[in-house]
Amino acid sequence: MMDLSVVIPMYNEAENAESTLKRVGDALASFQGSYEIVAVDDGSVDNTYELLNRLAQIDGKIRVVSYQKNRGRGMALRTGFKASKGEIIVSIDADLSYDPRYIPEVFEALKAERDIDVVLASPYMPGGGVQGVPFLRLWISRLGNRVLRFAMPNRIYTSTGIFRGYRRKVLDSLELESEGKEIHLEILSKIIALGYRVKEVPAILKGRKKGKSKFKFKKTAVSHLVFSFFEKPMIIFGFLGLLTLGAGGLIGIYVVYLRYAGILTPGRPLVTFALLLILGGIQILSFGFIALQIVSLRREILRIQKENLDLRNEIMGESKGKEAGLKR
């Protein structure tokens, strides 16, 4: 086992690969401990894979993991996590939107605070900042993270960033499924449900200088909205339920006024409409409470999965120990 693994997913990053690995290596030049840089080629169709292999032959600390078909950032990260050997694993993007000098800081934060399990680099928290990011993309990102902040049980400023540090035990306890950028939300959702502690540290987010951005507005927006709904279903059910119930109540008050004013026309559909709105609002709120129970049940399932994974890892560890003993 090593002290630190730095996982970098790459897709068509031939323009950035060499400078990225050099800057990460420079940032770790004074690192006191063992480390590796795990570059994951996510099925690139340019010469990223060949370039990474050439760099790995020059620098023994670089390891290359690859597969043929492009699967997305989530798959790349999952592959990198599985291949890494570090006790602490830091993930960072290939275009270095975050300066790699933060890597040792994230590592030290996890080493210094034993009760912290995950550290997030956050440009949107007090002390963080943004430089050179296009206005529209920045506005979308800020809005999305603000919505997610209300959806998360913990008030996290930046939920979507890739620059994070994890203890190995955290990643080993998760059954990750996402293949796209929504993996960042999946990881946060599951670690919070399992009771792991999360800390944010301020960082500067910079715009990409070389290569093409992989940002897709529609896909990103949909994933954020769906995630928010699943994390806090009462955001939607509660709003719609109260809105419908309130509209029905107001119409009901108006009907009562007409009745006592003596100007209510018999057989008017307004009464029926008010009753339907009130009953509909109650029904929608009921769906919200049921959804809350489902969320609670999901968290229990995640805890059971974690216990099963911990048990499996323990058994595998004992098995490997016995095999090593027999070989001796």
| Structure tokens belonging to residue 157 | 């400023």
Residue 74 and residue 182 in contact, taking contact as beta carbons nearer than 8 Å: yes
Nearest 5°: CA angle at 230, between 312 and 239?
160
Unique residue bearing structure tokens 């480390």: 35
Please report which residue ranges of 84-216 form alpha helices under DSSP H. 102-112, 135-151, 168-172, 183-193
DSSP 98: B
Three-state secondary structure call for residue 201? strand
Beta bridge partners of 204: 129
How far is it, in rounded angstroms, from Cα 280 to Cα 106?
A: 50
- The residues, any chain, with a CB within 8 Å of residue 156's CB and separated by 6 or more, are 120, 122, 148, 149, 188, 198, 200
How far is it, in rounded angstroms, from Cα 22 to Cα 24?
A: 5
Q: Count other C-beta atoms under 10 Å from residue 175's C-beta.
A: 11
CATH of domain 2-229: 3.90.550.10
Q: pLDDT 10s per residue in the chain (328 long)?
A: 799 999 999 999 999 899 999 999 999 999 999 999 999 999 999 999 999 999 999 999 999 999 989 999 999 999 999 999 999 999 999 988 899 999 999 999 999 888 899 999 999 999 999 988 888 778 878 887 887 777 676 788 988 889 999 999 999 888 888 888 888 988 988 888 888 999 999 999 987 666 565 555 566 666 666 666 666 777 778 888 889 989 989 988 888 888 788 777 766 788 888 888 989 988 888 888 887 777 777 777 777 777 777 777 677 666 666 665 656 6
Three-state secondary structure call for residue 154? coil
Element (H, E) at 82: helix 73-83
Element (H, E) at 271: helix 270-327
Query: CATH 3.90.550.10 occupies which residues in the chain?
Result: 2-229
Within 13 Å of residue 49, how many CA atoms lie on the same side as its CB? 12
Phi and psi at 199, nearest 5°, equal -130, 140
Unique residue bearing structure tokens 């719609």: 240
The closest of 103, 46, 88 to 70, measured between CA atoms, is 46
Instruction: Kindly report the length of the chain.
Output: 328
Max distance between CA atoms of the chain, in angstroms, equals 99
Query: Is the entire prediction scored with pTM above 0.85?
Result: no
| Structure tokens belonging to residue 308 | 């099963």
Strands (E), the chain: 2-10, 35-42, 62-67, 86-91, 118-122, 129-131, 164-167, 198-202, 204-206
